[in-house]
Structure 1
Amino acid sequence: MNGSTPESIYEFREFLYRHPDLIREVRAGKQTWNQIYQDWMVLGEEHEHWDSYRMDDVSVPDEKKDSTGHTLSSVLSIIEQINIDDLQKQISQFSGMMGNVQQVMRHFQKPEEPPKPPQDPFSFRRF
């Protein structure tokens, strides 16, 4: 956290992540960031005014968030959805494809010629 930025700015940003409809309203030009920030400072985060903007699938608001805003539980749920067998097949296919690309590249490269010995400039003279 930057020492020159007030803590309330970071709290307001987290508030906006939990109320994405507010972000949409600002982008649509219906409100300004300053208006929302002032309302948030006066009304507080738990006021009923914010209920219509609240995200429906908020799991636990007190969870620690990483720098990208994802909670640990959402990251774990994404990892749980990965099918290891499918991932292994795709990696194997990618590896085979890369091998084929390397073979094609080798085919089109000029073969290296062995270095020619320097010719003697006086080879026509046989002394």
Structure 2
Amino acid sequence: MTEKKEHPSIGEFKEFVKKHPKLITEVRKGEKKWQELFEDWYLLGENDVSWKKYREESDESESTAEKKSDFMSRMMTAVKSMDANQMNQHLYNMNNTISSIQNLFSTFGLTKGSSSSQSNTPNHPFSFRKD
């Protein structure tokens, strides 16, 4: 018998599927067909954004590491561009607001130390008597 030689693009597609193992589960679930995936791969190419969700977990962890480093660089840029005097003014305003709220609580007797009505009640909610 003669062996059937496959087209080179089929071999490339097999390598692509190995890099994107979630495609196999999509086909097994019946959500996609191999023919559809091959056509999409052939038309869109291997580097299309639509393939990201089918990549291995290690690729996703690399992208989360990139996101974390991007976040950190944005935070550092924001800290560098802050005005210290303006931040000091905001902190002063917050401190005054918190002090005002604490004064209101103490005026209306809502602080922890002023719970005198609860101190008269017994510690045990159920009183059992011995006969």
Is the TM-score greater than 0.5?
A: no
TM range, smaller chain: 0.3 to 0.5
Question: Which of the pair is proportionally richer in helix?
Answer: 2
TM-score (norm 1): 0.42
TM-score (norm 2): 0.41
